[in-house]
């Protein structure tokens, strides 16, 4: 069978095998659209502070914010010190108490300077605290009252939920998010968790993280509630819970950062998180001023409405897809890999490269569908330009093939834990490195390799082209270095503001997708020597890989990724054709100028 015939058959099979992936994409879009309820949860402690500063009752201020859309309240597990402040227990530090009683000539025989003493003012409060911990203690009688003595300062320890406060908030119409702490000497971690819809652990570890047995106990204790997973906050022990129990993604802005932002800027970040990253529990903090806080909440609710998101009590994210369609999508990935292998000058190079890419992918991402998804992402980023790169419109064809690959990647790589971002896509960095190399291998002429090396070595290169390549290389490096949100090559304040303005209006394309369509369009126009045109195409493949990378962010709704890519193709393509016109006229002008200079030089001689 001729190579062209094989490629035609593989192309037909590839197109047919796209059907299961398209169906899965449609089902995922339907799931994303149905999972549209967002909770606006306010920090109770911050509201208490703001109410006091403005001479208001806490509940009055809460009802005011409730009218603006806030429908949930987050409360931290109170410490023993908070119970002391609320006149629920009495607490004494031994040495200080002993000195006070000595000055009053009272009996101190039962008081030790190195101990700390506790008793209830509200019946049962101290007893609950004592039962919560395994610390050694002793009972003493002082002035007819029974006190419990502890050998260490316990004032900062978490004291369990305030059930009356939770009931009051629920009566006001709020759902409650409970935030418990870890303490190493807990007798029975999680036994006193209240029956609330959400648990979001406080601090950098879960309650009961001190032992393996307690961590397993917490998995059991949280199976009937929804656990919150806060973006960019690592909490030891949380992964064991959220991998198997109901989970919701939580978005919050640190208080110190929020102070630097005007309300509209903060609101934009919350809207983006809900619209594009599947955060369904928005953890809000009030501004210092009530009017700024109200502006903040109004902007959030208006933005959520524009995004077709509904304010309410969110549910856990439980994504499942058809196992049969998922397995059928394997064929598309394998047909694409086989087609890619036929595009090299020698069969052994094609087979070796295809096997190598598959092997690297399986090692990095796992010997399963995730590994095949990474292989697909790498191959389809290159496949379009490897098939055809003779005409300008081949750019559109190549981009379409990349989008086809994105459907396969989604069908193969997405599952509940990927949508929750518990298990991120492995090998994203490889997407920016390997595709240009793969395309370069398909460009090797089918001739004696020694002749190819000699031709490359003897290729004449002008200083002008070297300067142009250096400039383009620096620009490309800057674009690639700015991958992600936390890199050394940051963005300017003006660009940051422009991004906010754009993302509030449309689904903002990624920078690499905007910038890296142009090199390919210029390269396909054939304005430069073949070797330089090929380098431009290799640069454009990074843009194709970036487009593919958009779909590997599985926590982003599929339709959002698709719209982001379409916008990137539209705007990036328009920029590319504008640059093509500029380069064409620039080259023409420069060529004519050089010719005139040469003629003038000959006349002078």
Task: Round to whole Å and give the CA distance between 333 and 141.
Answer: 77
Tell me how crowded residue 31 is: count the other CB atoms within 10 A of its CB.
17
Dihedral angle computed from the Cα positions of residues 191, 197, 202 and 208, in that order, rounded to the nearest 10 degrees: 30
Q: What is the full DSSP assignment across 291-304?
A: HHHHHHHHHHHHHH
Q: What percent of the chain has pLDDT over 90?
A: 77
Q: Please compute the mean of the pLDDT values over residues 574-587 and round it to a whole number.
A: 90
Q: Picking from 29-43, 261-275, 372-386, 420-434, which range would have the lowest pLDDT averaged per residue? A: 420-434
Q: What is the full DSSP assignment across 170-202?
A: HHTT-EEEEE----TTBSSTTTT--S-SEE---
Asked if the model's pLDDT at residue 242 lies above 70, the reply is: yes
Of 296, 271, 253, 309, nearest to 65 by C-alpha is 296
* HEC letters along 460-493: CCCHHHHHHHHHHHHHHHHHHHCCCCCCCCCCCH
Residue 486: predicted pLDDT: 44
**Given CA atoms 496, 502, 508, 512 in this order, what sign does their dihedral have?**
negative
* Annotated domain spans of the chain: 3-32+319-592, 36-77+163-311, 80-150
Task: Round to whole Å and give the CA distance between 58 and 52.
Answer: 8
Task: Round to whole Å and give the CA distance between 459 and 456.
Answer: 5
Asked if the model's pLDDT at residue 488 lies above 60, the reply is: no
Asked if the model's pLDDT at residue 400 lies above 90, the reply is: yes
Residue 462: predicted pLDDT: 63
Residue with tokens 């705007």: 571
Task: Round to whole Å and give the CA distance between 281 and 201.
Answer: 14
Tell me how crowded residue 136 is: count the other CB atoms within 10 A of its CB.
9
What number of residues does the chain have? Answer: 605
**Given CA atoms 99, 101, 105, 108 in this order, what sign does their dihedral have?**
negative
Compute the half-sphere exposure of residue 296: CA atoms within 13 Å on the CB side of its CA: 26
Q: What is the full DSSP assignment across 376-393?
A: HHHHHHHHHHHH--SSTT
316 contacts 248 by C-beta, under 8 angstroms: yes
Residue 516: predicted pLDDT: 82
Determine the topology of domain 36-77+163-311 in CATH: TIM Barrel (3.20.20)
Reported in sequence order, the residue ranges of 286-351 that DSSP labels E, i.e. its strands, are: 310-311
DSSP H helices in 482-557:
493-503, 511-515, 518-524, 530-550
Task: Round to whole Å and give the CA distance between 110 and 139.
Answer: 10
Task: Round to whole Å and give the CA distance between 547 and 406.
Answer: 8
Asked if the model's pLDDT at residue 60 lies above 90, the reply is: yes
Burial track 255-266 (b if 16+ CB lie within 10 A, e otherwise): eeebeeeebebb
Residue 513: predicted pLDDT: 77
Of 264, 129, 113, nearest to 186 by C-alpha is 129
Asked if the model's pLDDT at residue 578 lies above 50, the reply is: yes
Task: Round to whole Å and give the CA distance between 209 and 533.
Answer: 57
Residue 498: predicted pLDDT: 55
What does the mean pLDDT of the chain come to? 90
What's the distance, CA 23 to chain centroid? 25
Tens digits of residue pLDDT in 338-357:
999 999 999 999 999 999 99
Task: Round to whole Å and give the CA distance between 239 and 219.
Answer: 10
Asked if the model's pLDDT at residue 152 lies above 50, the reply is: yes
DSSP H helices in 94-211:
94-103, 125-132, 163-171
Residue 485: predicted pLDDT: 46
242 contacts 422 by C-beta, under 8 angstroms: yes
Asked if the model's pLDDT at residue 586 lies above 50, the reply is: yes
Q: What percent of the chain has pLDDT over 70?
A: 89
Burial class of residue 135, CB neighbours in 10 A (0-12, 13-18, 19+):
middle
Give the full edge-to-edge strand order of the sheet including 89-93: 89-93, 116-120, 145-150, 138-142
Paired tokens of 488: 């050394």
Asked if the model's pLDDT at residue 454 lies above 80, the reply is: no
Asked if the model's pLDDT at residue 87 lies above 70, the reply is: yes
Task: Round to whole Å and give the CA distance between 603 and 521.
Answer: 39
């Amino acid at each position: 069978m001729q190579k062209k015939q094989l490629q035609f058959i593989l192309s037909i099979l590839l197109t047919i095998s796209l059907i299961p992936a398209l169906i899965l994409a449609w089902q995922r879009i339907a799931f994303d659209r149905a999972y549209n309820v967002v909770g606006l949860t306010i920090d109770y402690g911050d509201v208490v502070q703001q109410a006091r500063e403005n001479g208001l009752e806490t509940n009055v201020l809460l009802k005011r914010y409730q009218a603006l859309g806030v429908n949930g309240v987050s409360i931290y597990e109170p410490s023993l010190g908070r119970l002391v402040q609320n006149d629920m227990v009495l607490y004494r530090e031994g040495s200080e108490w002993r000195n006070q009683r000595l000055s009053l000539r009272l009996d101190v025989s039962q008081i030790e300077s190195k101990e700390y003493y506790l008793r209830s003012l509200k019946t049962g409060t101290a007893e609950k605290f004592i039962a919560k911990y395994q610390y050694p203690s002793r009972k003493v009688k002082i002035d007819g009252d029974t006190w419990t003595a502890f050998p260490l300062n316990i004032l900062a320890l978490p004291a369990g939920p305030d059930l009356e406060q939770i009931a009051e908030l629920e009566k006001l119409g709020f759902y409650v998010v409970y935030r418990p702490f870890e303490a190493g000497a807990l007798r029975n971690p999680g036994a006193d968790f209240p029956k609330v819809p959400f648990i979001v652990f406080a601090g950098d570890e879960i309650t009961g993280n001190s032992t393996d047995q307690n961590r397993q106990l917490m998995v059991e204790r949280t199976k009937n509630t929804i656990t919150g997973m806060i973006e960019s906050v690592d909490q030891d022990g949380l992964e064991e819970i959220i991998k198997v129990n109901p989970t919701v993604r939580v978005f919050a802005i640190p208080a110190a950062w929020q102070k630097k932002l005007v309300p509209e800027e903060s609101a934009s970040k919350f809207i983006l998180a809900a619209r594009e990253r599947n955060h369904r529990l928005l953890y809000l903090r009030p501004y210092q001023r009530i009017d700024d806080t109200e502006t903040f909440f109004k902007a959030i609710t208006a933005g959520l409405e524009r995004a077709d998101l509904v304010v309410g009590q969110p549910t856990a994210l439980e994504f499942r897809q058809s196992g049969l369609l998922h397995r059928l999508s394997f064929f598309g990935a394998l047909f694409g890999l086989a087609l890619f292998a036929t595009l090299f000058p020698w069969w052994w190079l094609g087979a070796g490269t295809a096997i190598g890419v598959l092997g690297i992918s399986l090692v990095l991402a796992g010997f399963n569908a995730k590994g095949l998804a990474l292989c697909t992402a790498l191959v389809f980023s290159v496949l379009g330009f490897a098939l055809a790169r003779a005409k300008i419109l081949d750019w559109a064809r190549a981009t379409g093939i990349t989008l086809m690959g994105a459907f396969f990647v989604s069908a193969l790589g997405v599952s509940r834990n990927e949508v929750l971002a518990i298990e991120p896509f492995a090998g994203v960095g490889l997407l920016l490195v390997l595709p240009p190399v793969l395309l370069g291998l398909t460009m090797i002429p089918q001739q004696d390799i020694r002749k190819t090396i000699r031709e490359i070595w003897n290729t004449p290169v002008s200083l002008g082209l070297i300067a142009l390549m250096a400039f383009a290389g620096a620009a490309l490096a800057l674009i690639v270095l700015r991958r992600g949100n936390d890199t050394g090559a940051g963005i300017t304040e003006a660009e940051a503001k422009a991004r906010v303005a754009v993302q509030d209006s449309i689904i903002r394309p990624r920078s690499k997708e905007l910038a890296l369509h142009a090199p390919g369009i210029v390269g396909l126009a054939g304005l430069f020597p073949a070797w330089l045109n090929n380098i431009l195409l290799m640069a454009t493949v990074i843009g194709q890989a970036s487009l593919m990378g958009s779909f590997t962010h599985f926590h982003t709704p599929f339709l959002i990724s698709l719209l982001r890519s379409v916008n990137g193709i539209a705007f990036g393509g328009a920029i590319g054709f504008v640059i093509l016109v500029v380069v064409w006229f620039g080259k023409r002008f420069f060529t004519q100028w050089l010719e005139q200079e040469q003629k003038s030089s000959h006349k002078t001689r």
